[in-house]
Structure 1
């Protein structure tokens, strides 16, 4: 399917690694000019260099979107790079999770400052970027905003409730914003992954393996995590490309009649009706 993204400009926050890097590369492959974002100058430069080396149009934006100053810096660089932004993918976020899938630790191990940091990184960062990018989308008469949610938003686990709270808040932001922007040509949707194998997540899964005695073989670890902890019918963890494909579709003109929707890409881990 041609996603008709040629000529579109996309900003993907948190796109130097993991899911964000997969999203920004797929959007570039589909013809969009892309903004690679991260907090570290070197990582952003490496991401841009890799994309441009492969023949894609890419620029960088450095800054911490969990702060007002950082959001200003990122939005300014992104809007200046290609003359405006058509697609905003709010992927940047923070995960503070226990090394074992057991309840109780967060009652003592997660302090108020960490809980506040989660909210700033996962919820207020989205609000900041929407405020800075969406007004010029309205002027352009077309736009796509895609939030990165989580299966934890609708199926919170006892082990990390503050993270689940932030992802549920983002789904509420998504629905409210989709209605606020009625008639503007802008749609707002969310993609909610299950657990995805990324460099940030793998140490947590290996911690589970140590707790349950699964050994060191990754195939065995992944199968056991997906089957016995997450109860995922596909019996595997997600991959960044699984999420990127869903985001790219929602970011495209092909998804024009999808608005205010939460697309679960979780291998069936959430057993409820959406």
Structure 2
């Protein structure tokens, strides 16, 4: 692995951000390309920022190095930022919908992108055995200290789903995972391969108005997070063996004082 010139990287990245903030998009794009040359693994998420500016290809998912770095850095303050500052309540919404629809209890739950354990903690009394996965080692350490999970892994979600040979699950959750993924086929296929027939797959997604999506299945929004078209989510679920139980319009979180529209999706695995 080539050693990164941290000083040059920081200079180029800060220059790119400054140009972007000043509305000097061409200069920002050039600087982000410099960032990618210095750091091809893209710890700073330059590829996602380029896509957010409408320049360059939309990546199929946020770079692993970027997501890992982002969450490792914010692990200690993660819950305060997400819940207190951004008004994130998706795990509570998941519990409310399960109770409203009289679904559960469950035997084995897989919590994809488990973070510090917000979803696992919210659903703990509804499940016998919970496995948590997150790409951030620091996040997983905090989740481990809470003693909420029977099993915890540090892994990228799609890679784990492809490689896992544990017993299948009757509940799979992915709250706040889709904003870091573009193409959903690997996630949905991987989830299907790890589920019992009749099991539930519950996840949140963010979206943007139709005139912004402009027919695209997914795109990187203004805050460097992936938004997905409702039709794309529905089609891919059906293609990978899921029947939609419900798709609820929700506010995923507040961002700059404005709600982030999205969906809470519950799907049942009918079998491949």
TM-score, normalising length from structure 2? 0.45
Q: Which has the higher contact order (CA 8 A, sep 6+)?
A: 1
Higher share of residues assigned helix: 1
TM-score, normalised relative to structure 1: 0.45
Larger strand fraction of residues: 2
